[in-house]
Amino acid sequence: MDVEERFRQFRRQRHRPAHARRTARSVAAFFLPLLRPGDRVVDLGCGPGSVTAGLAEAVGPTGRAVGVDVDPGPAPVPLARADIHALPFPDRSVDAIFMCAVLQHVGDPIRPLLEARRVARPGAVIGVADADWGRAIAAPDDPWLDMGQHLLTALRAGTSPYVGRDLRGLLHAAGFVDARVTARSTGGSDGCEREGAFQAEFFEAPAAVDVVTARGLASAQDMAAIASAWRRWAQDPAATSARHSFEATARVP
Query: pLDDT by residue (tens digit) across 210-239?
Result: 999 999 999 999 999 999 999 999 999 999
DSSP state of 240: E
Determine if the peptide bond prior to 37 is cis (ω within 30°): no
Q: Which domain holds residue 14?
A: 3-251
Instruction: Please report, for the domain that includes residue 215, its CATH number.
Output: 3.40.50.150
The pLDDT of residue 76 is above 80: no
The pLDDT of residue 1 is above 80: no
Section 72-89 average pLDDT: 89
Section 190-218 average pLDDT: 97
Section 113-130 average pLDDT: 98
Count of structural domains, the chain = 1
Residue 109: left if φ>0, alpha if ψ -120 to 50, beta else—which one?
Answer: alpha
Q: Which helix or strand (DSSP H or E) is residue 242 part of?
A: strand 240-251
* Residue 208 pLDDT: 98
* Residue 25 pLDDT: 96
Q: What is the DSSP string of 113-178?
A: HHHHHHHEEEEEEEEEEEEEEEEEEEES--HHHHHHHHHHHHHTTTS-TTGGGGHHHHHHHTT-EE
**pLDDT confidence band for 178 (50 / 70 / 90):** very high
* Residue 52 pLDDT: 96
Report which of 204, 208, 249 is spatially closest to residue 231, judged by C-alpha positions: 204
CA–CA separation, 94 and 39 (whole Å): 8
pTM over 0.75: yes
* Residue 135 pLDDT: 87
Q: What is the mean pLDDT of the chain?
A: 96
The pLDDT of residue 120 is above 80: yes
Q: What are the pLDDT digits (tens) for 65-75?
A: 999 999 887 77
Section 41-57 average pLDDT: 96
The pLDDT of residue 13 is above 80: yes
* Residue 99 pLDDT: 98
* Residue 73 pLDDT: 73
* Residue 169 pLDDT: 98
The pLDDT of residue 123 is above 90: yes
**pLDDT confidence band for 20 (50 / 70 / 90):** confident
* Residue 16 pLDDT: 86
